[in-house]
Structure 1
Amino acid sequence: MENKSNEATPLRPEGSRIIDAPLVKMDLNEFIEQIKSEATWKDSDRNSVTIFKSETMRIVLMGLHEHAELKSHKANGVISVQVIAGKINFVVGEESLLLEKGQMVALHENILHHVIAVEESFFLLTLAMNKK
C-alpha cells in the first residue's frame, strides 16, 4: 500500500498530512485546535477536516458552533457519529437523539438525517462505503 497525503488547498496550504497508509496516527485534540484556528471556523458556523480517507472508509472531524445545523441529507454508506466534545441532536425522522461527549450512533446508508449542535461541538463522522 502506498502512503497517501492530502493535497494542499488554499485553506490548508501545507498539504503533506498523511490521510491513508497502513498505519495512520490521528491526534484529535490537535485537529480540534487546527479547526478552531482557521478562518472558516471564525467566518461560518462550522469547519471540518478529513483525517483518514481510503477507498472504503472516510473519517472526518467536524466542528459546529452552538445552534449550527447540518441540513437533512443521506450518506452513501454506513456511518457512525461519535461526539468528542459538546452536545448534538442527531435527528432521523421523528426521532431525536441527544448525544454528548463519549456517546455515538450508527446509521445505515441512504437514511435521511440531520444534526443540530446544542452547544459548540466536535464529532467524528466515519463513513464506510461499499467497495466497487
Structure 2
Amino acid sequence: MDIKSNQSTENRPEGDRILDAPYVFTDIPMYLEQLKTEHSWVKNDRNAITVYKSEKITIVLSILKTGAVVSDHSIDECLSFQVLSGELKVETQGRVFYTTPGQMMTFHAGIAHSIQAISDADILITTYKG
C-alpha cells in the first residue's frame, strides 16, 4: 500500500499530513485546537480538515460557529456525522432533528439535508462509497 499525504497550502503551509496508510492515528483534540487557531476560523463561520482519505472513505473534522448553515446539502456518497460538542439542527425529508454530543446521523447517497449550528459545534464527518 502506498502512503498518501496532503500537500501544503497557503492556509496550512506545514503540510505533510498522512491521509492514507496501513493505519492512520488521528489526534482529534489537537486538530480541533489547530482549526480554532487558523485564519479561516477567524474570518468564516466554519473550518475543516481532512484527517483520512482513501478511495472509498473520507473522514473530515469540522467546526461550526453558532448560526452556521449548510443548506440543501446532498452528495453522491453515503454520509454520517457524529457530534463531538455543541448542538445542531438537522432538516431532512420534512423532519427536524436536534443532535447533541455523542449522537450521529447517517444518510444514504443523494439524500438532501440542511444543518444549522445552534451553538458552536465540533463534528466528525465520514463519507463512503456504497
Task: Give the TM-score taking structure 2 as reference length.
Answer: 0.97
Corresponding residue of 1:19: 19
The CA deviation string for residues 9-65 of structure 1, in whole angstroms up to 9 with x for no partner, is 100011111010010010111110011000000101000000100000000111100
Q: Give 3-state SS (helix, strand or coil) of 2:90's partner.
A: strand
1:107 aligns with 2:99: no
State the SS of the aligned residue for 1:35: helix
Q: How far apart, CA to CA, are the structure 1 residues paired with 2:102 and 2:67?
A: 20
Find out whether 1:117 has 2:117 as its counterpart.
Answer: yes
Partner in structure 2 of residue 37 of structure 1: 37
Count of residues in correspondence between the two structures:
130
Give the Cα separation in 1 of the matches to 2:25 and 2:99.
25
* Uncovered stretches (5+) of structure 1, i.e. residues with no partner: none
Partners of 1:38 and 1:16 in 2: CA distance? 17
Instruction: Name the SS for the 1:16 alignment partner.
Output: coil
Q: What TM-score, normalized to structure 1?
A: 0.96
Aligned counterparts of 1:129 and 1:38: Cα–Cα separation in 2? 30
**Aligned-residue CA RMSD (Å):** 0.8
Q: What is residue 56 of structure 1 aligned with on the other side? A: 56
* Separation in structure 1 between the aligned mates of residue 96 and residue 42 of structure 2, nearest angstrom: 28
